[in-house]
A and B are shown apart, each in its own frame.
Chain A
Amino acid sequence: EDKVVQSPLSLVVHEGDTVTLNCSYEVTNFRSLLWYKQEKKAPTFLFMLTSSGIEKKSGRLSSILDKKELSSILNITATQTGDSAIYLCAGDTSGTYKYIFGTGTRLKVLA
């Protein structure tokens, strides 16, 4: 059975801290891994990773995929209160058109 597992489930940090969120996957015919940020409503897209070892970066956020370990990490440096959200990762399977989501990591950044 395909599954995506995220850890930790929740995290509380102070502004300025660096955090690392983890995502591991067991997905048949794995094609890509995606990260989303969900604040109050709709999840918004952050990164799509298809190749192992290549870091994607956007401002203070970065992510990398390790196909050997079947995992990905999302790093956020110099956290701000606006980073408080649920971070979701999803595995995409080639040929089945289905995305398998993890349960998410709830991040709270305190001022």
Chain B
Amino acid sequence: NAGVTQTPKFQVLKTGQSMTLQCAQDMNHEYMSWYRQDPGMGLRLIHYSVGAGITDQGEVPNGYNVSRSTTEDFPLRLLSAAPSQTSVYFCASSRRSSQPQHFGDGTRLSIL
């Protein structure tokens, strides 16, 4: 039972590069979300989705894009990486928005 799978686990980018963080869940969950976790800041919501084809912005959406073409996948795109985007990124999912979320193991992203 895979749960929520994030790839890659680690990534180093140069300023200005773009990349996509992948997130997939095999639990048929409607609700998916992306967070970033920085020291002393807790988890901050970047974008979320309540179902295929529906996405919306969280607290800190600038510099990130998402799409949800299938129930299973919710990729996060960094358009032009900046050092301020150095962080640990977590993807999470739940059956409904009102239910506890399952988290992936995170992607540690460093931008030089």
Residues of A within 8 A of B (CB): 4, 31-32, 34, 36, 41-45, 48, 88, 90, 92, 97-104
Contacts and interface: CB of A to CB of B under 8 A. Distances in A.
Contacts of B104: 42
B49 to A, nearest CB: 9
B48 A97 contact: yes
B79 interface: no
Q: Interface size bucket, B side?
A: 20 to 34
Contacts of B58: 98
Interface string B52-67: 0000101100000000
B105 A42 contact: yes
A36 to B, nearest CB: 8
B78 interface: no
A101 B100 contact: no
A102 B37 CA distance: 11
Q: Which 5 A-B residue pairs are closest in the complex by CB-CB distance?
A: A42-B103, A103-B42, A101-B43, A97-B97, A45-B100
A101 B103 contact: no
